[in-house]
Each structure stands twice: as C-alpha cells, then as structure tokens.
C-alpha cells in the first residue's frame, strides 16, 4: 500500500505522462496519418514489386522509416504554411496549428527535422533513392503548396507528381534505376490524384471558396470537373493495370484489380450521368480504397 509521500511523488509523474500523451496526439494529427500511411504503402509496394520483402527485410524497414519521416515532414510543413487557409475553413479550423494548440515555430522545427532526417537517411541508403524522396518533398512543399496552390487549380498536377514519388522511390531503391514500371506506378498515382482531390473539392466547395483556394469546380464548373475525374480514373486504372502486368502479377490478382477498376469506372460514370453528393462522396471514399487495395495486391504478390 503506497504511503502519502509515495502518492505525492507519483502524482507529478502522472501529470507529465498525461501532458506528453496529449502532445503526442496533437503531433500525430499534424502528419495526417491516413494520408501518410497510404503514401507509405505505395512506397513499400514499389519496392516489393521487384525485391523480395523476406530476404530484404532490413532494407524494406529502412525504406519505411525514411519515407515515413520525409512524408510526415512535408505534411507538417504544409500545415505550417497553410495555417491561414486552415483557419478560414470549417473542416480544418480545429487543426493543431490554426487552433493555437501548437505554435507555427514548433511546427516548422518539427517539419524541418522530420524532412531533413528522412531525406538524409534516404541519401545514405542510395543516392538516387534519396534524390527521388527529396523531389517528392520539393514538389509537395515548394512547388505545390508555396507556389501554385493559391494561384491555380492546376496545382493538383504538381501535387500529383509529388504523390507519385514514394512509389517511384520504392521501385528505384529495389531496381537501382528509374524504369518503366516505376514510371507507370507513379503515373497511376498522378492520375488517381484528381479523382481523390476533385471529389473532395466538390464536397467542400464553400470551404475552398471562403479560403480563396482556386479549384476545378470553382474555376471550370462541376460538369468539366466530373469529366476530368472520369478520364483520370481510366488513365489511373490503365497505368496500374499495365504496371501490374509488367510486374508479373498473378492472373487471380489481375482479375481482382480489374474488378476494382470497373468499380471506379462505374462510380465515375454515375457521377457524370446522375451526379449527386452521395455519389461524389462514395467515389471519394472508393478512390482511397482502390489505391490501397491496388498496393496491397502488389504486396501480397511478393509474400
């Protein structure tokens, strides 16, 4: 049974633990764990598309660690830069930085620390791999967020290029060079981005308008946006399908990938013919599941 002195000694430790736990939760929100996890899955899929994960486990673990740091760092830096936009949008106003729970200075230090560590780790593993990781970070933070996001809706193309870098980086680390499969996988992610982002733009149209961020729905209308989504979905599925064929994906997995692609085409087609908020949100959710399951099929093939 603890004495009163022991209880008094334990109390401050309990308070410190609770404070640290709260802080960690806030920092975890800064990295957008679901988005980071999805991009990390593409990087790992790119690696195992050529290298056996069992015999190259240490390299795969290092890839996961370096990519996680670089992707998380770029996300935090984006949040620091976009804090004024986030403060004006209903869905983002509660984020740690615009809400004042974490200071911009702390976010900047954290973002730079994660980014530099991730890129440096990548360069030490393999120079070309590290350069691709750096390219993804540069396109995301500097080109997309700082330069183009507030100027043109076409910024998502450059954001898509950065989104395709993790899977290309994984492939480069395994192969040692930029090859056709790596480019096709990166192209698939690039073409998937419009489906993911533009459906989100339509769902939160008023938020983006209020924040002054140009989007395809606000600049070109919903009809043109839905047509672009449909075309991008076809190109994404075609790129992933051709890459999977070149990888040598088992016929059973290829058929499953085809079924997943048909589901994407169907929802994109319905959004064109009978557009609705429900269909739009369904396509947004399905696009993420489609990407995740495509990467999982590549991972399963390698096991």
pTM of the model: 0.92
Write out pLDDT tens, residues 141-167.
999 999 999 999 999 999 899 999 999
Instruction: Please say whether the beta carbons of 235 and 220 come within 8 A.
Output: no
Write out pLDDT tens, residues 59-112.
999 999 999 999 999 999 999 999 999 999 999 999 999 999 999 999 999 999
Domain coordinates of the chain in residue numbers?
Answer: 28-302
Mean pLDDT, rounded, for 114-127 = 98
What CATH fold (topology level) applies to the domain 28-302?
Tetracycline Repressor; domain 2 (1.10.357)
Write out pLDDT tens, residues 84-98.
999 999 999 999 999
Write out pLDDT tens, residues 24-53.
888 899 999 999 999 999 999 999 999 999
Whole-number Cα distances in Å, 293 to 2, 73, 161, 286: 52, 25, 21, 10
Distant-in-sequence, close-in-space partners of 90: CB < 8 Å, separation ≥ 6:
207
**Residue 273, token pair as written in the block:** 């013919």
Instruction: Please say whether the beta carbons of 98 and 86 come within 8 A.
Output: yes
Q: What are phi and psi of 89, to 5 degrees?
A: -105, 130
């Amino acid at each position: 049974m603890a004495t009163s002195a022991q209880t008094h000694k334990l109390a401050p430790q309990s308070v410190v633990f609770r404070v640290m736990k709260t802080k960690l939760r806030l920092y975890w929100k800064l990295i957008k764990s679901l988005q980071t996890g999805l991009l990390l899955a593409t990087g790992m899929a790119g690696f195992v598309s050529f290298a056996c994960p069992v015999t190259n486990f240490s390299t795969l673990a290092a890839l996961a660690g370096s990519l996680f740091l670089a992707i998380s760092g770029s996300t935090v830096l984006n949040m620091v830069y976009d804090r004024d936009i986030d403060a004006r949008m209903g869905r983002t106003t509660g984020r740690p930085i615009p809400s004042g729970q974490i200071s911009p200075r702390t976010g900047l230090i954290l973002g730079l620390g994660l980014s530099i560590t991730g890129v440096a780790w990548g360069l030490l593993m393999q120079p070309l791999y590290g350069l691709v990781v750096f390219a993804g970070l540069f396109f995301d933070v500097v080109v997309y967020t700082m330069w183009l996001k507030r100027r043109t809706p076409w910024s998502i193309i450059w954001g898509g290029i950065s989104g395709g870098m993790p899977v290309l980086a994984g492939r480069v680390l395994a192969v040692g060079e930029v090859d056709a499969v790596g480019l096709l996988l990166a192209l698939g992610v690039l073409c998937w981005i419009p489906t993911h982002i533009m459906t989100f733009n339509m769902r939160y149209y008023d938020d983006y308008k209020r924040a002054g961020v140009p989007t395809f729905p606000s600049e070109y209308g919903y009809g043109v946006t839905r047509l672009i989504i449909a075309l991008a979905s076809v190109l994404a599925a075609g790129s992933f399908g051709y890459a999977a064929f070149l990888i040598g994906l088992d016929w059973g997995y290829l058929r499953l990938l085809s079924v997943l692609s048909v589901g994407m085409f169907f929802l994109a087609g319905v959004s064109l013919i009978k557009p609705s908020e429900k269909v739009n949100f369904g396509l947004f959710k399905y696009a993420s599941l489609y990407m995740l399951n495509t990467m999982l099929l590549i991972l399963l093939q390698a096991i």
